[in-house]
Amino acid sequence: MTDDDEYFEDFSDNSSIELSGVDEDVLGNELSSVDISDSGEYEFDDGPGNTDSSSEILYSFYKSRTSGGIPTHRLKYRNIALDDIQKELEKDVKKVQNMLQLDYGKCLNLLLQYSWNEHKMLDMYMNAPNHQDYLLKNGIYEAKFPEDLSRLISTETDENILCGICYCGPTKDEPMNFFSMYGCKHKFCTDCYIQYLKNKNESGSMAIECPFADPKCHLKITIEELNVLSEYNNKMEEKHFYHKKQEECNLLSEEQIKQMYKLDSDSEFEFDEQLDVEDDFNNTVKTKEKMKIDELVYDFHTIIQQREREEIDKKRNRTIISKYWYNIGSRYCTINTKKYKHCPSPDCDNVVQFIGFDSDIVANIEELKRLLMIPLVRCKSNHQFCFGCNETAHAPCPCKVVQLWKIKCEDDSETLNWIQTNTKDCPRCHSLIEKNGGCNHMTCKSCTYNFCWICLGDWTAHRNNYRCDKYVPNEDSDVSKVRESLEKYMFYFNHFNNQRISHDKDKQILEIFENKIKELQINSGVSWIESVFYKECVNALLECRESLKWSYAFLFYIPNCRGKQLIETAQWQLSNKVEQLSRLFEDVEIGDVIKKKPMFLTIKSSMVTAQNVFLETCIDIFADKHTLKDFVQRWNIK
Partner 1 sequence: MSRAKRIAKELEDVKKDQLSGVTLEMAEDDDLSHLKGTFLGPPGTPYEGGLFEVDIKIPNEYPFKPPIMKFDTRIYHPNISSQTGAICLDILKDAWTPILTLKSSLISLQSLLQSPEPTDPQDAQVAKIYLSDPKKFAETAANWTKIYAPNENYKPTGKEDYSDFTKLAENQKIINQDIDDCEKYGIDKNTVKIFEDMGFPRDKIIDALRKLNLKHVRIDDDMTQQKVLDEILS
- Provide the binding-site residues for Zn ion, judged by CB under 5 A: 163, 165-166, 184, 186, 189, 192, 210, 212, 217, 219, 343, 345, 348, 350, 379, 381, 383, 386, 388-389, 399, 426, 428-429, 444, 446-447, 449, 452, 454-455, 457, 468
Our CB check for Zn ion shows the closer of 19 and 461 to be 461
Provide, rounded to whole angstroms, the least separation between the CB of residue 165 and Zn ion.
Answer: 5
Our CB check for partner 1 shows the closer of 62 and 196 to be 196
In sequence order, which residues have a C-beta less than 8 Å from that of residue 207 and are 6 or more positions away? 109, 112, 113, 139, 220, 221
Q: Which of residues 304-333 bind partner 1 (CB under 8 A)?
A: 330-331
The CA distances from residue 447 to 137, 432, 442, in Å, are 77, 11, 12
Stretch that binds partner 1, among 243-251, 334-342, 533-541, 542-550 (CB under 8 A): 334-342
Provide, rounded to whole angstroms, the least separation between the CB of residue 176 and Zn ion.
Answer: 8
Residue 439 known to be catalytic? yes
The CA distances from residue 225 to 128, 138, 183, 420, in Å, are 26, 17, 11, 52
Our CB check for partner 1 shows the closer of 194 and 510 to be 194
Our CB check for partner 1 shows the closer of 205 and 317 to be 205
Give the number of other CB atoms < 10 A from CB of residue 125.
18
The residue within the footprint of partner 1, chosen from 344, 428, 596, 609 (CB under 8 A), is: 344
Does residue 396 have a cis peptide bond before it, meaning omega lies within 30 degrees of 0? yes
Pick one of Zn ion, partner 1, none as the site partner of residue 199 (Cβ within 5 to 8 A by kind). partner 1
CA distance between the termini of the chain: 26
The residue within the footprint of partner 1, chosen from 95, 218, 245, 338 (CB under 8 A), is: 338
Closest CA to 445 of 466, 430, 457: 430
Provide, rounded to whole angstroms, the least separation between the CB of residue 445 and Zn ion.
Answer: 8
CA distance 345 to 354: 18
Q: Taking a C-beta distance cutoff of 8 angstroms, is the pair 343, 381 a contact? A: yes
Tell me the backbone φ, ψ of residue 193, rounded to 5 degrees.
-60, -45
Half-sphere exposure of 234 (CA within 13 A, CB side): 19
**Exposed e or buried b per residue across 570-596, where buried means at least 16 C-beta atoms within 10 angstroms of its C-beta:** bbbbbbbbbbbbbbbbbebeeeebbeb
Q: Does 371 bind partner 1 (CB under 8 A)?
A: no
Our CB check for partner 1 shows the closer of 126 and 479 to be 126
The residue within the footprint of partner 1, chosen from 209, 299, 367, 514 (CB under 8 A), is: 209
The residue within the footprint of partner 1, chosen from 18, 54, 147, 216 (CB under 8 A), is: 216
Q: Does 117 bind partner 1 (CB under 8 A)?
A: yes
Q: Does 334 bind partner 1 (CB under 8 A)?
A: yes
Q: Does 241 bind partner 1 (CB under 8 A)?
A: no
The CA distances from residue 293 to 27, 265, 307, 484, in Å, are 62, 8, 21, 75
Half-sphere exposure of 391 (CA within 13 A, CB side): 14
Our CB check for partner 1 shows the closer of 39 and 127 to be 39
Q: Does 203 bind partner 1 (CB under 8 A)?
A: yes
Q: Taking a C-beta distance cutoff of 8 angstroms, is the pair 417, 424 a contact? A: no
Q: Does 461 bind partner 1 (CB under 8 A)?
A: no
Provide, rounded to whole angstroms, the least separation between the CB of residue 463 and Zn ion.
Answer: 11
* Strand runs labelled E in 74-175: 74-81, 153-156
Q: Does 41 bind partner 1 (CB under 8 A)?
A: yes
The CA distances from residue 576 to 217, 257, 583, in Å, are 65, 48, 11
The residue within the footprint of partner 1, chosen from 74, 106, 342, 577 (CB under 8 A), is: 342
Tell me the backbone φ, ψ of residue 324, rounded to 5 degrees.
-65, -45
Our CB check for partner 1 shows the closer of 121 and 439 to be 121
Q: Does 134 bind partner 1 (CB under 8 A)?
A: no
**Exposed e or buried b per residue across 324-350, where buried means at least 16 C-beta atoms within 10 angstroms of its C-beta:** bbbbbbbbbbeebebbbbbbeeeebbb
Give the number of other CB atoms < 10 A from CB of residue 511.
10
Q: Does 127 bind partner 1 (CB under 8 A)?
A: no
The residue within the footprint of partner 1, chosen from 211, 297, 345, 605 (CB under 8 A), is: 211
The DSSP call for residue 552 is H
Which residue among the candidates 439, 444, 468, 537 is catalytic per the annotation?
439
Point out the residues that are catalytic. 439
Residue ranges that bind partner 1, judged by CB under 8 A:
39, 41, 113-115, 117, 120, 164-168, 191-192, 195-196, 199, 203-205, 209, 211-214, 216, 330-331, 334-335, 337-338, 342, 344, 366, 390
